């Protein structure tokens, strides 16, 4: 009788330990999933081959330009539009800030702002807009098809959203990335305003330009 | 007695809007300078309401229309979303800042020039109307605190 009780107790103790082990595993698992899960996937690192600098557009002086006109310089490319009141000026001001921190090396960089709203962003509008941010900044526009092709080559997503109350009845949605392309026009890296200070981005860009990374 | 009532009413009339403003605090109000008058501007601020309230609308003489915008991040894509009213939970600070919520100022009378200020009236469901002065900072500004540093 006593031995049966001991066996029973042993069984209970064993089951309890199983429960404890299950709880530990479940909690650990949940913690693991949470720690890993909250990390956002890295932005569009589809690989070097997928993102190319290929375009034929009109610059803010009214001249037709292609990627060939920017080869030989490191390119910082950002897609946006001038009706964008928040993300675009914030990002362009950030790029200007980065350029100012490149000091002597700024000549080796071509900062490019490509509009995704070409029907409203004419070369004249782009000229006034980009010059307010930085004298080195080039604004590019073109036909809807040319802009779509440029965005496609950079794997940039944008869309027109109907919004009755917005000017002209629409808003644009877009990805706010800054692409760093090599002097050969190959994808080097992608940055986002707000993820590092302008100083940090400038240091990073300089290191890559000088082959330290 | 009638005199006393008159005084009480007068004091109440003067004090109540002030009280309304006391219970709701609007600060760090600023707007980013714009380059072209034909393009919308953005204004930012922080609101703290002692009691639960709701921002119903915003007006300013410098813009034809003001919209409250939230930015929705869908993966890598930012979408501006028009919100009709902004909920203000009791005692919580609600901040509109670059890259997030903002007031979109449309149909500007003129471009917003750095160093100028303009009035803006916020209409709250409970607190009523509160008018604040908005400072126009440079196009590269991130906020008034940074500018003060």
Encode pLDDT of B27-73 as tens digits.
Answer: 999 999 999 988 999 999 999 999 999 999 999 999 999 999 887 77
CATH number for A193: 3.40.30.10
Residues A3 and A82 in one domain: no
Residues A106 and A185 in one domain: yes
Above 70 in pLDDT, residue A151?
A: yes
**Closest-CA residue in chain B for A161?**
B79
Specify if A174 maps to a domain.
yes
Residue ranges in B24-138 assigned as alpha helix (H): none
- Distance between CA atoms of B23 and B8, rounded to whole angstroms? 21
Above 70 in pLDDT, residue B20?
A: no
Count of domains forming chain A: 2
Specify if A87 maps to a domain.
yes
Residues A93 and A150 in one domain: yes
Encode pLDDT of A58-79 as tens digits.
Answer: 999 999 999 999 999 999 999 9
ipTM over 0.85: no
- Distance between CA atoms of A47 and A67, rounded to whole angstroms? 19
Instruction: Please name the member of A93, A159, A177 whose beta carbon is closest to the beta carbon of B76.
Output: A177
Which superfamily, per CATH, for B24-148? PCu(A)C copper chaperone (2.60.40.1890)
Instruction: Please name the member of A82, A87, A173 whose beta carbon is closest to the beta carbon of B99.
Output: A87
A142-167 b/e with 16+ CB inside 10 Å = b? Answer: beeebbeebbebbbbbbeeeebeebb
CB contact under 8 A, A161 and B32: no
Residues A129 and A29 in one domain: no
Residues A63 and A22 in one domain: no
Residues A95 and A184 in one domain: yes
Residue B104 parent element (H or E): strand B102-108
Question: In the structure, how many helices (H) and strands (E) does chain A have?
Answer: 5, 9
Range of the domain at A4: 1-39
Across the range A167-178, mean pLDDT stands at 76
Residues of A in contact with B77 (CB under 8 A): 157, 159, 173-175
Above 70 in pLDDT, residue B149?
A: no
Residues A100 and A29 in one domain: no
Above 60 in pLDDT, residue B17?
A: no
Model confidence band, residue B21 (pLDDT cutoffs 50, 70, 90): very low
Model confidence band, residue A47 (pLDDT cutoffs 50, 70, 90): very low
- Distance between CA atoms of A156 and A80, rounded to whole angstroms? 10
Q: Which positions 54-113 of B are in contact with A (Cβ < 8 Å)?
A: 65, 67, 69, 71, 75-80, 82, 98-99, 102, 104-107
Model confidence band, residue B25 (pLDDT cutoffs 50, 70, 90): very high
CB contact under 8 A, A85 and B41: yes
Give the pLDDT of residue A34. Answer: 41
Residues A78 and A138 in one domain: yes
Residues of A in contact with B42 (CB under 8 A): 85-86, 89
CB contact under 8 A, B106 and A132: no
For chain B, give every domain's residue range: 24-148
Specify if A47 maps to a domain.
no
Specify if A44 maps to a domain.
no
**Size of the A and B interface in Cβ pairs below 8 Å:** 81
């Amino acid at each position: 009788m006593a031995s049966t009780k001991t066996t029973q107790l042993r069984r209970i103790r064993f089951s309890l330990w199983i429960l404890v082990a299950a709880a530990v595993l479940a909690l650990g698992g949940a913690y693991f999933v949470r720690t890993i899960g909250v990390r956002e996937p890295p932005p569009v690192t589809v690989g070097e081959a997928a993102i190319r600098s290929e375009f034929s557009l009109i610059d803010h002086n009214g001249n037709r330009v292609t990627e060939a006109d920017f080869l030989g310089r490191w390119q910082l490319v950002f897609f946006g539009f001038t009706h964008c009141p928040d993300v675009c000026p914030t990002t362009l001001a950030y790029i200007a800030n980065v350029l100012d921190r490149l000091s002597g090396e700024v000549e080796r960089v071509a900062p490019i702002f490509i509009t995704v709203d070409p029907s409203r962003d004419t070369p004249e509008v782009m000229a006034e807009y980009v010059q307010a941010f930085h004298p080195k900044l080039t604004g590019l526009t073109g036909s809807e098809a040319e802009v779509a092709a440029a965005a496609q080559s950079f794997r940039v997503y944008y869309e027109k959203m109907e919004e009755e109350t917005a000017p002209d009845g629409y808003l644009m949605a877009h990805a706010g990335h800054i692409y760093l392309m090599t002097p050969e026009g190959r994808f080097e890296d992608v940055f986002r305003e707000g993820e590092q200070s302008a100083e940090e981005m400038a240091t990073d860009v300089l290191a890559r330009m000088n082959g330290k990374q | 007695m009638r005199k006393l009532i008159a005084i009480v009413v007068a004091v109440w009339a003067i004090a109540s809007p002030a009280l309304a403003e006391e219970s709701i605090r609007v600060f760090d109000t600023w707007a980013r300078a714009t380059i072209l008058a034909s393009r919308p501007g953005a204004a930012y601020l922080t609101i703290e309401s002692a009691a639960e309230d709701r921002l119903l609308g915003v007006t300013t003489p410098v813009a034809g229309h003001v919209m409250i915008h939230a930015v929705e991040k869908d993966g890598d894509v930012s979408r501006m979303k028009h919100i009709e009213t902004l909920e203000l939970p009791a005692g919580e600070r609600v901040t509109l800042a670059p890259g997030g919520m903002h007031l979109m100022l449309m149909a500007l009378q003129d471009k917003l020039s750095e160093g100028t200020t303009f009035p803006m009236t916020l209409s709250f469901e409970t607190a009523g109307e509160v008018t604040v002065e908005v400072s126009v900072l440079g196009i590269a500004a991130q906020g008034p605190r940074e500018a003060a540093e």
